[in-house]
Amino acid sequence: MVRIQDLNCISPYEWEIPRSFRADMRVPVRIFSTREMLEQCVEDRSLEQAVNSATLPGLVGRVTIMPDMHQGYGFPIGGVAASAYPHGVISPGAIGYDINCGVRLLASTIEANAALPNLDELAVRLNQLCPSGVGSKGMFDLSQPELEHVLVEGSQWTLKKGYANETDLRRTEENGVMAGADPSKVSERAKKRGKSQLGSLGAGNHFIEVDVVDEIFDQKSAAVMGIYHGMLVVQIHCGSRGLGHQICTDYVQDFQLAILRYGIKLPDRELVCAPLDSQEGSNYMAAMHAAANFAFANRQMLAHATRQVFQEVFSGEFKNWHLNQVYDIAHNMGKTEMHEVDGQITKVCVHRKGATRAFGPGNPGIPAEYQEIGQPVLVPGSMGTASWVLAGTQTSMERSFGSCCHGAGRVMSRSQAKKNFHGNRLRSELEKHGIHVQAGSMPGLAEEAPQAYKDVDMVVETVTKVEIARKVARLVPVVVIKG
Amino acid sequence: MGFKEIRHTADRALLVWGKDIETLFKEAGLGMYSLLALHSEPSPMVTRVFSASGADFESLLVMFLSELLFYLEQEDLVFTTFDLQFHTGELKATMRGSTVNRSVKMIKAVTFHNLDITKLHHGFQVEIVFDV
């Protein structure tokens, strides 16, 4: 077990577990956190998982842990680790089962105060048009060839079909399509699970949320993003559904043997991996990119359905009811990127599990309109609390492989949350605060009680203090659709 | 033989025990279903057969539980009886069950996190973490 006294305190917001802490660590672990948030994590296994992650072969720099960290499986949630090409490894468990789980933000110029009478109808229609819940079916039952187009083309497929516009794609990480996706590396079972799930939210902590822009911290950046005080915006949080879960399951199973072939010793079998230049590593990369493309297309389809609902509810009431895309980002991904390591520009695979890419100004990987301000970093809070729009910084490139936090981070188990909170009562409380809630299940709602999470404002304060992101706007919810 | 839920901050975890490997697998399946709080509906019993080969019992356990999740997602099927046969790294399972009302909770995947089937004096024990 890792104790707080085992950590070196670098500043009130930064801690380090040195490489000397355990003989099998290949790099140190750097944690961005306050002492209070760190103490919340000591009881679970997140610090031990961070140390285990630092044993992956070929890692460079350091494993970085975001303030929203919590216990995961193998790799902690909120973790970032980069392995160098060609001999470093790729680990499916360090990316997660919900490949390219991510967040999309759409902004409107509908004044929230004027829209108050419409919010209940908005919640009901969003819940009807955006399928949610366990095993929920999406908007299509795709044929095998059509599904394979989605896996290769991602958001491009939705553009071709008329469900997206050019701005949507430009304002999506990787323009909504990961190159090198290969459906032949995706199992038939994964395809079977995915073919009926495109355009569905799923369950768990996934959601669609309508928010009001509560406070602007950087007028210029907010204006560039199209975010204005008092206006309605929409967040969509979901991933690659059963298709992505199956791909990760398949490759974690396959890699159980791969590590024996490559003589890799690991402290946890969930961290199994394969060299980036191996056939096994290439196969997983191609399948993982296919799942990422499915997830980009999935969020695009949900954005399309959300726009239909906005048109239906607001087009007769407001002059400009349109929803414009601010950005779409992944927070469970493995990305091939160039980063400076020990003074050398190095090709690495950055594993982000519960961590968001946060490229700073001038990075060629972000859209032209964000070149001056850095990419939007979307940090949803727990249900009923604030969410944040941040912007990536140059410092994030230097300190965290261009990465930032992805949410509030759990502190309470789901079973404890169900004991402590009641779904119906929670919904009534949220509604008293003017938040309209539609949920797949009341126990599921109780599990997502805001008290089960860290204070997102403190998470955001921490990442801004260590300068890996800066504040642009704060959002507060008015409609929550829970999976 | 039995199972109980153990603490995990974000996901779900079970401690499962059984007098032999077959019982351990069955209890793991029933324990996983218990996390999903399923309620069965009166419907005809159906049989599904599944076979797999894996590096060890831990790999087979993940495959077996993943198979149960697949049938739950695709066919709303929950199995109540299991005939499990192990033979040199292979599992052949004949499972009987019926449809349930749609689950309101989800398990995305069965993980290998700290998965280690341990031999006890009177049988076997394992901790399983599920991604939810």
ipTM: 0.91
Whether residues B131 and A96 touch (CB distance < 8 A) is answered with yes
CB-CB under 8 Å, B108 with A253? no
Here the tokens at position A378 are: 């979307």
pLDDT at A153: 98
Percent of chain B having pLDDT more than 70? 96
Percent of chain B's residues with pLDDT above 90: 78
Cα nearest neighbour of A75 on chain B:
B113
Interchain contact B112–A (C-beta under 8 A): yes
Asked if B75 has any chain A CB less than 8 Å from its own CB, the reply is no
Nearest Cα to Cα of residue B38 among B3, B85, B73, B84: B73
Output the pLDDT for position B31.
Answer: 96
Find which of B5, B9, B12 to mutate to test the A interface (most A CBs within 10 Å of its CB).
B9
- Model confidence over B51-107: pLDDT tens digits? 999 999 999 999 999 999 999 999 999 999 999 999 989 999 999 999 987 666 789
Backbone angles phi, psi at A293, to 5 degrees: -65, -40
Query: Is A406 a catalytic site residue?
Result: yes
Compute the average pLDDT of residues A20-25. Answer: 97
Q: Which one of A51, A205, A245 makes the best mutation probe of the B interface by having the most chain B beta carbons within 10 Å?
A: A245
In sequence order, the β-bridge partners of residue B90 are: B53, B87
Residue labelled with tokens 């355990």: A22
Does the CB of B90 have a partner CB in chain A at under 8 Å?
Answer: no
Between chains, do B10 and A410 touch, taking CB under 8 Å as contact? Answer: yes
Query: Does B91 reach chain A within 8 Å, measured CB to CB?
Result: no
- The minimum CA-CA distance between B127 and chain A, rounded to whole Å, is 12
What's the pLDDT at A466? 98
Q: Read off the pLDDT of each residue in A140-146 and give the average, rounded to a whole number.
A: 92
Domains along chain A?
4-411+453-482 (3.90.1860.10)
B127 contacts chain A (CB < 8 A)? no
Is the predicted pLDDT of residue A176 greater than 80, yes or no? yes
Percent of chain A with pLDDT over 70: 99
pLDDT at A205 over 90: no
**C-alpha to C-alpha distance for A117 and B77, rounded to whole angstroms:** 43
Looking at residue A41, its pLDDT comes to 85
Check whether the bond before A67 is cis (ω within 30° of 0): no
Buried-state track A22-43, b at ≥16 Cβ within 10 A, e below 16: beebbbbbbbbbbeebbebbee
pLDDT at site A415: 83
pLDDT at A134 over 70: no
Query: What's the whole-number mean pLDDT along residues B39-49?
Result: 85
Q: What is the pLDDT of residue A131?
A: 76
- In the predicted model, what is the mean pLDDT of residues A441-467? 91
Closest partner residue to B7 among A96, A269, A413, by Cβ? A413
Output the pLDDT for position A135: 64
- The chain-wide mean pLDDT, for chain A, equals 95
The token pair at A79 is 């973790």
Query: How would you classify the pairing of strands A469-482 and A436-439?
Result: parallel
pLDDT for residue A280 is more than 90: yes
Q: What is the pLDDT of residue A1?
A: 84
By mean pLDDT, which of A167-176, A315-324, A458-467 is the weakest?
A315-324
Distance CA A182, CA A186 (A): 7
Of A406, A422, A433, A436, the catalytic one is A406
In the prediction, which pLDDT does A442 show?
82
Q: Which two tokens stand for residue A435?
A: 């938040």
Question: Residue A452 in contact with residue A205, Cβ under 8 Å?
Answer: no
Between residues 32 and 61 of chain B, which touch chain A (CB distance below 8 Å)?
A: 37, 54-55, 58-59
The domains of chain B, with CATH numbers, are: 2-131 (3.55.10.10)
Contact state of B37 with A443 under an 8 Å Cβ cutoff:
yes
Beta bridge partners of A144: none
- The answer to whether B112 contacts A415, with C-beta atoms less than 8 Å apart, is no
State yes or no: pLDDT of A414 exceeds 90. Answer: no
The DSSP string of A395-411 is: HHHHHSSSEE--S--B-
Q: Nearest C-alpha of chain A: how many angstroms from B83?
A: 23
Looking at the predicted structure, is the pLDDT value of residue A441 above 90? no
Cβ atoms of A232 and A108 closer than 8 Å: yes
Q: Which residue of A331, A410, A413, A416 is the best one to mutate when testing the B interface, meaning the one whose CB has the most B CBs within 10 A?
A: A413
In this predicted structure, what is the pLDDT of residue A483?
Answer: 76
Residue A133 has pLDDT above 80, yes or no: no
| B119 reaches A (C-beta below 8 A) | no
Helix (H, G, I), strand (E, B) or coil at A377: strand
Number of A/B CB contacts below 8 angstroms equals 119
Quote the pLDDT of residue A57: 98
Query: Which of B8, B9, B55 is closest, CB to CB, to A256?
Result: B55
